[in-house]
């Protein structure tokens, strides 16, 4: 297997040799931090290169993307007329193998029909399985997705909310099972000052060199870009000084 680039400059700078083909990566972070947005940027990069993308939507309706290389696999349980599209995947707690079977057969059929290989398998998000299934079912699903990505030479990317009360042990097990973790959070020191600055790190990535450093960033039209912390702290200091002078 070869290494592949994620196509996002900030992530590629943290993973200078890319990630091994067949890896399953989790984008981990609290609700609202931008996990699905980052996953969507990776998805767009794959589509722009003409690579197939298989998007399994579990938390919400599938994205409405008109691209011959995009396949929406729907696990959202509320049927919204006019919005549902792609293949229906029912996450049945008693038969999780059927979801994996449907995902695998959808990918195999597309590859055979298009004469393609590999691509991106995206799961958004695994929390639905954690909340609606027994623990062993959720872990079997993750194990199956990991095996599927490896057997089909794909990159698997799954989003996962962190810090859900009562699910700390499952979160720890899943983050151990997968091949890599891209972690997002708000900078705790700045959050105390009321400044919600995002930061990112590669917590772990198997079989490839990677930086462990936290990188402060913001989302722009170009995707996630680093924030100049020295300039930011200087502006904060200047604003605090100006506020102090106004009160004197």
Which homologous superfamily does the CATH classification assign to the domain defined by 3-247?
P-loop containing nucleotide triphosphate hydrolases (3.40.50.300)
pLDDT score at 137: 81
Question: Please, which residues have CB within 8 angstroms of residue 99's CB and are 6 or more apart in sequence?
Answer: 75, 89, 90, 91, 92, 141
Count CB-CB contacts under 10 A for residue 131: 13
DSSP 204: E
Q: Which long-range contacts (CB under 8 A, 24 or more apart) does 191-194 make?
A: 193/236
How many residues are present in the chain?
A: 248
Q: Which residues pair with 26 in a beta bridge?
A: 158, 181
User: pLDDT category, 38, cuts 50, 70, 90?
Assistant: very high
Instruction: Please give the Cα distance from 109 to 92 (Å, whole number).
Output: 22
Q: Report yes or no: 19 and 140 within 8 Å, Cβ to Cβ.
A: no
Dihedrals phi, psi of 115, to nearest 5 degrees? 65, 35
* Chain mean pLDDT for the chain: 88
Dihedrals phi, psi of 165, to nearest 5 degrees? -55, 135
Instruction: Please give the Cα distance from 44 to 53 (Å, whole number).
Output: 9
Nearest Cα neighbor of 48 from 21, 69, 18, 25 is 69
Q: Report yes or no: 109 and 95 within 8 Å, Cβ to Cβ.
A: no
Q: Which residues pair with 70 in a beta bridge?
A: 53
pLDDT in tens, 121-175: 999 988 888 877 777 888 888 999 999 999 999 999 999 999 888 888 888 999 9
Helix (H) / strand (E) containing 57: strand 53-57
pLDDT score at 82: 56
Whole-prediction pTM value? Answer: 0.90
Q: What does the block give as tokens for 65? A: 């993307």
User: pLDDT category, 56, cuts 50, 70, 90?
Assistant: very high
Nearest Cα neighbor of 114 from 73, 149, 68, 81 is 68
Nearest Cα neighbor of 209 from 24, 42, 13, 59 is 13
Domain boundaries, the chain: 3-247
Instruction: Please give the Cα distance from 202 to 214 (Å, whole number).
Output: 8
pLDDT score at 80: 60
Q: Report yes or no: 160 and 126 within 8 Å, Cβ to Cβ.
A: yes
Instruction: Please give the Cα distance from 162 to 216 (Å, whole number).
Output: 19
User: pLDDT category, 189, cuts 50, 70, 90?
Assistant: confident
- For the ranges 28-37, 82-91, 102-111, 123-132, the lowest mean pLDDT is seen at 82-91
Count CB-CB contacts under 10 A for residue 139: 18
């Amino acid at each position: 297997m070869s290494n592949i680039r994620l196509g996002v400059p900030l992530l590629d700078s943290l993973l200078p040799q890319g990630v091994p083909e067949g890896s399953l990566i989790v984008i981990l972070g609290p609700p609202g931090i931008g996990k699905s947005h980052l996953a969507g940027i990776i998805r767009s990069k794959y589509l722009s290169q003409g690579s197939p993308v298989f998007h399994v939507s579990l938390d919400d309706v599938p994205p409405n993307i008109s691209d011959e290389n995009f396949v929406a696999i729907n696990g959202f349980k509320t049927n919204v007329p006019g919005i549902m599209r792609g293949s229906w995947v029912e996450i049945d707690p008693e038969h999780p193998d059927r979801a994996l079977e449907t995902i695998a057969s959808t990918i195999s059929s597309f590859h055979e029909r298009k004469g393609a290989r590999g691509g991106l398998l995206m799961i958004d998000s695994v929390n639905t399985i954690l909340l609606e299934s027994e623990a062993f079912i959720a872990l079997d699903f993750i194990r199956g997705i990991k095996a599927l990505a490896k057997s089909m030479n794909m990159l698997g990317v799954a989003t996962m909310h962190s810090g859900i009360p009562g699910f700390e042990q499952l979160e720890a097990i899943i983050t151990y099972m997968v091949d890599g973790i891209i972690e997002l959070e708000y900078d705790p020191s700045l959050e105390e000052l009321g400044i919600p600055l995002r930061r990112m790190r590669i917590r772990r990535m198997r079989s490839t060199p990677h930086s462990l450093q936290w990188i402060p960033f913001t989302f722009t039209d170009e995707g996630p870009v680093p924030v100049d912390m020295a300039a930011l702290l200087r502006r904060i200091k200047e604003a605090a000084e100006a506020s102090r002078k106004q009160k004197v």
